[in-house]
Structure formats: structure tokens, C-alpha cells
A = this chain, B = another copy of it.
């Protein structure tokens, strides 16, 4: 969490968020009133936050990782537009996105160009996602995969593996990080492109697939930037 988030949380009257994320910031909650809603109630959360802000209250909407990467920032702006309230003061505070958090637990896999792709097809057609995976694989981008697997679509990650294998060696390093930087909840595994789908992967996992240069250095996964040592 950034220092800016800490000071803003301390200044607001209301904190609005998905209840799991509210639990993660319990230690910062003192005087603030909490509006916690369930999963997939993003729009309700925005409307409630905007209603409170329009009444003159100071409101923080919390998101995990970076609110600006697949997070709440966009939908808040879209709701403000719909309600003709774009003149309400809004500060978007960036955070450490899951790609960065996961990378830090693996070593330094993101030292070179990378593609961030969500495998969730709730809001995006699977054909679009699959095309992006193919093109980024061909471009030798490192991958940071968000929302890699859910019960509703267990096979997508296997399709990704098959596509990337057309362009990269089977022993390409792959890092699996679950609940990155959440203390004892976190887990880290470094495996290979050939094998990674045999390991546990769920919606709380971030998958980092190396590019053609990525290698294992001791306990770390590293993509060299290209310096001559």
C-alpha cells in the first residue's frame, strides 16, 4: 500500500469496497463508515460511492492491486458520466498491480517488454483474448496473466499453454504466485511452460510466462535486460 493511500484512508468519511478487500485493510479502519458489497456488485458500489460524494462526503473506493488496472477506476468515471457528475472531484491513486507484486516474489521476470492479459471472458469474448495471446506469444512478450482460471472456464489456461508452446521452448520458466504479497497467504512456484497447468491455479493466482530469454538463476526467475556483465 502506498503512503498516499494510507493518508487518504485516514481522511475520508466512507470506505466503499468489495468485502474481501475491506477485510484486507481492517487495520486502517478507525472512524470511517464502511460500505461493503459482494462480488460482481461493482456498479452498485460505484453508485453508492457517487451518491455519498454528491452529498458532500469524502469517500474512498478501494480496489485490490492497482485500481487503474482492471480495477474500479474506469467504472467510476463511466458512472459519473452517466449521472452527469463528471465535475465531482476525483483522485485516482495508483497502486502496485498484481504483475509487479507477483514479479517481486519470483525475482525479476519483467525486465523486458510484457503483455498483461486477463483470461476472464465475463466481459470480453474469448476469441479476442485468444488472439491477443497468440500475437503476444509471437512477439516474444513476457506474459502476466490475470484471472487465469475459474470454475466456469477451466480449459482456457490449457489453451493458452498450447498457443504459447507453438512459439516458446517447453522449459520456458513460468511463475505462479497466489495472493501476492499477502503475508502468510502468499504462495510462489516456479515451473515450466510444459508443466505449469499441472499445478494449482485459481482466480487469485497471477501467472507469469517468461520470454525466450527468461531463465532460472538460483531461486529466482529472471529475464535479462541485456546488460553485458
Interface residues of A, Cβ cutoff 8 Å to B: 1-3, 6, 42-43, 66, 68-71, 73-82, 86-87, 92-97, 100-101, 103-105, 107-118, 123-124, 128-129, 131-132, 135-136, 138-141, 181, 217-220, 222-227, 229
How far is A3 from B27 in the complex, measured between Cα atoms in Å?
14
Identify which of A77, A111, A218 gathers the most chain B CB atoms within 10 Å of its CB.
A111
With contact pairs A108-B77, A217-B77, A220-B77 given, residues A225 and B139 touching in the complex (Cβ less than 8 Å): no
On chain B, the residues within 8 Å of A109 by CB distance are: 68
8 extra interface residue pairs, beta carbon distance < 8 Å, beyond A70-B110, A77-B217, A100-B100? A1-B2, A68-B100, A92-B107, A94-B181, A97-B97, A113-B118, A115-B141, A132-B140
Question: With A113-B116, A227-B78 in contact, do A101 and B94 touch (Cβ < 8 Å)?
Answer: yes
Q: Which residues of B contact A123 (CB under 8 A)?
A: 225-227
Please indicate the chain B residues that have their CB under 8 angstroms from the CB of A217 in the complex.
77-78, 80-81, 86
B124 touching A74, Cβ below 8 Å: no
